[in-house]
């Protein structure tokens, strides 16, 4: 190898190294406050006992959902990130908001399992064993966007009922401050660049069959009505800011 070829090769290597580091230094779109810890991620404890949501959500469903499904999302996400040192220091929200920057070899795994970890970490505290009414201030704010509280409930649960296959229904605060109802397939969420409506989720319900099938089988609407009565409106109000 002559001097010129050697220098060209060195330049190519340096360029490659610079490109590899680029994701760490580029500004990231911060779509939401950090909800989960940092890499390596851990399965968060439920904020209530497994049996606390009976009879609306049965104990076995909660155990399988948390110890089985959610734990698997966390483990698979960690395995994928073990291969991507340049992305380990990012928050999960940053990773999900910038999926397009993740190498294609690992992008789908991070999308599915990172999404799964974030979505379930969001979901557990949005439920409460102590039924509560939304405050008048929250009802007023939401009614202003959807016409009435009843109209909001109807539209939200209808979107969930009509969602084909597995996914999530969300109430999202968009960057302009508007509230919108949207659904995402699989473990996608509104932080991701693929979402139809992007923004900060303030409410979300898991509409995967694994969330209700043991007790409700194919009666998704019955599950949705039961879950509605478990919603933690105080938390929704806090997230709304």
Q: Rule CB under 5 A: is residue 188 a binding residue for Fe ion?
A: no
How far is it, in rounded angstroms, from Cα 231 to Cα 133? 9
In the complex, what is the shortest distance from the CB of residue 121 to Fe ion, in angstroms, rounded to a whole number? 11
How far is it, in rounded angstroms, from Cα 87 to Cα 81? 7
- The residue range among 164-172, 183-191, 199-207, 231-239 that interacts with Fe ion, by the rule CB under 5 A, is 199-207
- For helices 149-162 and 136-146, what crossing angle results, to 10°? 70
How far is it, in rounded angstroms, from Cα 31 to Cα 10? 38
Task: State the Cα angle at 63 between 57 and 64, rounded to 5°.
Answer: 100
How far is it, in rounded angstroms, from Cα 138 to Cα 85? 42
- The residue range among 8-16, 44-52, 127-135, 204-212 that interacts with Fe ion, by the rule CB under 5 A, is 204-212
Q: Of 211 and 227, which has the nearer Cβ to Fe ion?
A: 211
Q: Name the residue number minimizing CB distance to Fe ion.
A: 206
* Helix locations, the chain, DSSP H: 3-25, 59-63, 71-82, 92-97, 104-109, 115-123, 136-146, 149-162, 213-216, 220-228, 233-240
Local structure of residue 114 (DSSP, 8 states): I
- The residue range among 23-31, 98-106, 151-159, 198-206 that interacts with Fe ion, by the rule CB under 5 A, is 198-206
Q: Of 115 and 199, which has the nearer Cβ to Fe ion?
A: 115
Q: Segment 129-168, which members bind Fe ion (CB under 5 A)?
A: none
In the complex, what is the shortest distance from the CB of residue 10 to Fe ion, in angstroms, rounded to a whole number? 50
Q: Segment 4-43, which members bind Fe ion (CB under 5 A)?
A: none
How far is it, in rounded angstroms, from Cα 229 to Cα 225? 7
In the complex, what is the shortest distance from the CB of residue 123 to Fe ion, in angstroms, rounded to a whole number? 7
In the complex, what is the shortest distance from the CB of residue 120 to Fe ion, in angstroms, rounded to a whole number? 6
For the chain, the maximum distance between any two Cα atoms, rounded to a whole number of angstroms, is 77
Q: Rule CB under 5 A: is residue 206 a binding residue for Fe ion?
A: yes
- The residue range among 26-34, 80-88, 205-213, 214-222 that interacts with Fe ion, by the rule CB under 5 A, is 205-213
In the complex, what is the shortest distance from the CB of residue 203 to Fe ion, in angstroms, rounded to a whole number? 16
In this chain, which of 41, 50, 118, 208 binds Fe ion, going by CB under 5 A? 208
- Output helix, strand, coil percentages for the chain, rounded to the nearest 5: 55, 10, 35
Q: Of 41 and 87, which has the nearer Cβ to Fe ion?
A: 41
Lookup: tokens for 16: 């490659």
Number of residues that bind Fe ion (CB under 5 A): 3
Q: Rule CB under 5 A: is residue 118 a binding residue for Fe ion?
A: no
Q: Of 149 and 213, which has the nearer Cβ to Fe ion?
A: 213
Residues lying near Fe ion in the complex (CB under 5 A): 206, 208, 211
């Amino acid at each position: 190898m002559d001097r010129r070829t050697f220098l060209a090769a060195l330049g190519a290597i340096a360029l490659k190294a610079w490109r590899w580091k680029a994701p760490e230094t580029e500004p990231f779109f911060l779509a939401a406050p950090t909800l989960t810890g940092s890499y390596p991620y851990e399965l968060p404890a439920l904020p209530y006992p497994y049996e606390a949501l009976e009879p609306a959500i049965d104990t076995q469903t909660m155990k399988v959902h948390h110890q089985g499904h959610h734990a698997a999302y966390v483990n698979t996400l960690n395995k994928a990130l073990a291969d991507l040192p340049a992305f380990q220091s990012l928050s999960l929200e940053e990773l999900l908001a910038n999926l397009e920057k993740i190498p294609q070899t690992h992008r789908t795994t991070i999308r599915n399992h990172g999404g799964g970890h974030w979505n379930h970490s969001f979901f557990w505290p949005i439920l409460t064993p102590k039924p509560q009414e939304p405050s008048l201030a929250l009802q007023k704010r939401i009614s202003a966007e959807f016409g009435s509280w009843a109209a909001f409930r109807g539209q939200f649960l209808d979107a969930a009922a009509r969602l084909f296959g597995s996914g999530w229904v969300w109430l999202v605060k968009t960057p302009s401050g508007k509230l919108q109802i949207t659904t995402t397939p699989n473990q996608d969420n509104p932080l991701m660049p693929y979402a139809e409506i992007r923004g900060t989720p303030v409410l979300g319900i898991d509409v995967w069959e694994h969330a209700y099938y043991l007790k409700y089988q194919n009666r998704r609407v019955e599950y949705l009505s039961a879950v509605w009565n478990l919603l933690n409106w105080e938390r929704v109000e806090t997230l709304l800011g």
